Every structure is written in C-alpha cells, then in structure tokens.
Structure 1
Amino acid sequence: MSTKFVHHICIQTNNYEESLKFYRDILGFELIKEFPHFHNRSYNSWLKLGAFYIELQTGKIDENLNSVNANTKGIVHFCLWVDDLVKEVQTIKQLGCDFIRKNGKEIYQVENGSLCKLVAPEGTIVELRDNRGI
C-alpha cells in the first residue's frame, strides 16, 4: 500500500486579511504562497504548519460565502496538537482571541487529555489539544 497523509484543508473566507492574520499571527502558520486574482477569486494562498497546509481562499468575485456551524454535515472542526496547552491558551488570549467555553471553562478534559476550541474569523472551529492519541 502506498504512503498517505493529510496534505491540506481548504478554508474559504469573506474576510481574507482577518483570516490570514488569525492563522499566521495567532496559530503560527507560515504564509508560503499568495496568489492574488486567482481563478476569479481575490486571493488563493497557502499556509504551512509543520507538514500540514491550509489553502486559504476568498469566494469568487462578487460572491458572499455562507456561514458554517457545528450542526452541519462534513468537517466540523480541525485539531492542532500543542505541547503546552495552558501556555498556548494564555498566548492566544493575550493576542485578543476568545475561546468557546464548556461549563464555564476554556480548557476542559475529554477522555485522556485536555482541549479547548476557538473560532477563526471565517467561522472555522479550531481545536487545540495536548494529547496525541485518540
């Protein structure tokens, strides 16, 4: 069997600059390539974190993209593993981001690890966790 791994996810946004800043400045992704005026879109860009990529793009010109929510089909969130969740949350809070609270807590226990969730400017839910297992 051939080797397989997740290469990227594609995220569309109505507010490119705000989403780019979130992924680059808050979560630490590196902007690898930025293509303005790409196939009838204002932007199509590639961001990298380790071996994982996000393809960040705007809707087509004059298209207003619909919002997503946790009750839709398909991908509901994506998760990033961090080695120090408490420190990561403190850093992100200092940068002005709020977290989704569960029972009043930003960080909570699930199975054998801790996690938290925040919402990117375009509505993507991003989970951070300190356990590499399932």
Structure 2
Amino acid sequence: MTEKYVHHICIQTNTYSETIKFYTEVLGFELVQESPNFHGRLFNTWLKLGSFHIEIQTGKQHEELEACHSNAQGIVHFCLWVDDLNQEVARLKEKGVKFIYKNNEIIYKVENGHLCKFKAPEGTIIEIRDNKGI
C-alpha cells in the first residue's frame, strides 16, 4: 500500500493580494507557483509550509465569492502545529493578527492541550497549538 497523507487544501478568495501576503509574510508559507489567467480565474497560486500545500485561487472572473463561516458544513478550520504557542501568539500579535477570543482569552485550554484561533483575510479560520502546557 502506498503512503497516504493530506497534500493540500484549496482556499478561494476575493482578497487575493491580502491573502497571499498574509500566508507568506505572516505565517511563513513559501510561494511555489503563481498562475495568472487560470481557467477563467485571475489567479491560481500554490503555497507550501513543509510538506503541506495551500492552493489559493480567485473566483472566476466577474464572480464574487460568498463569505465562509464557522457554522457551515465542510472544513471549518485547519490547524498549524508550532513549537511554542505563547511565542507564536506574541509574534503574530506583532504582525497585527486579530485573534478569536473564547471566554475573553486568546489562548484557551482544550482536551489534550491549549490552542488559539484567528482568521485569514479571506475568512479561513486557522488554529495554532503546541504540545506544551501554559
């Protein structure tokens, strides 16, 4: 049997430039390939972080995409594992990231650890966590 793993997720956006800047400059993804005029879309772009890829695409030309929200079916968020959650939160605050608070806290306890969440410019909810206690 061949090895199976998640290769990528695809995120569509109405805010292409802001989204690319956020994932590369704030979260540290590498821009791998940017394809303009891709099958009726202004852009289809590949980013990677380690072996994880994100495909960023605009809607088809003259199409305004609906906003995503956490009460929808399908993928609700994706999670990035970090070495030190407190250190990463401090770094992201310096970059101007706005966090999603729970019980008036940025970092909160859940089963098996601690986490926090924030939204990317296009509305994707991103969770970060580590395996250390607070």
TM-score, reference length from structure 2? 0.96
Q: Which amino acid aligns with 1:9?
A: I
Q: Deviations over 1:81-117 (max 9, x none)?
A: 0011111111111111110000011001111211000
The 2-side partners of 1:2 and 1:35 are apart by 30
SS in 2 for 1:19: helix
Cross-structure match for 2:44: 44
Separation of aligned partners in 1, 2:72 and 2:3? 31
> How many angstroms apart in 1 are the aligned matches of 2:97 and 2:112?
26
Number of residues of Structure 1 aligned to a counterpart in Structure 2: 132
User: Following superposition, which runs of at least 4 residues in structure 1 exceed 2 angstroms of deviation?
Assistant: none
Secondary structure at the aligned position of 1:18 is classed as helix
- CA distance in structure 2 between the aligned counterparts of 1:24 and 1:57, rounded to whole angstroms: 15
- Alignment RMSD, CA only? 1.1
Q: 1:1-134 to 2 correspondence within 5 Å?
A: 1-131=1-131
Question: Distance in 2 between the 1:42 and 1:24 partners?
Answer: 19
Q: 1:2: how far off?
A: 2.1
**Whole-angstrom CA distance in 2 between matches of 1:88 and 1:52:** 19
Work out the CA distance in 2 between the residues paired with 1:101 and 1:60: 34
Contiguous gaps of at least 5 residues in structure 2: none
In structure 2, the residue corresponding to 1:32 is in which secondary structure?
A: strand
**Structure 1: unaligned runs, 5 residues or longer:** none
Among the aligned pairs, what percent are the same residue? 61
Deviation at 1:3, TM superposition (A): 1.0
- Amino acid of the residue matched to residue 59 of structure 2? G
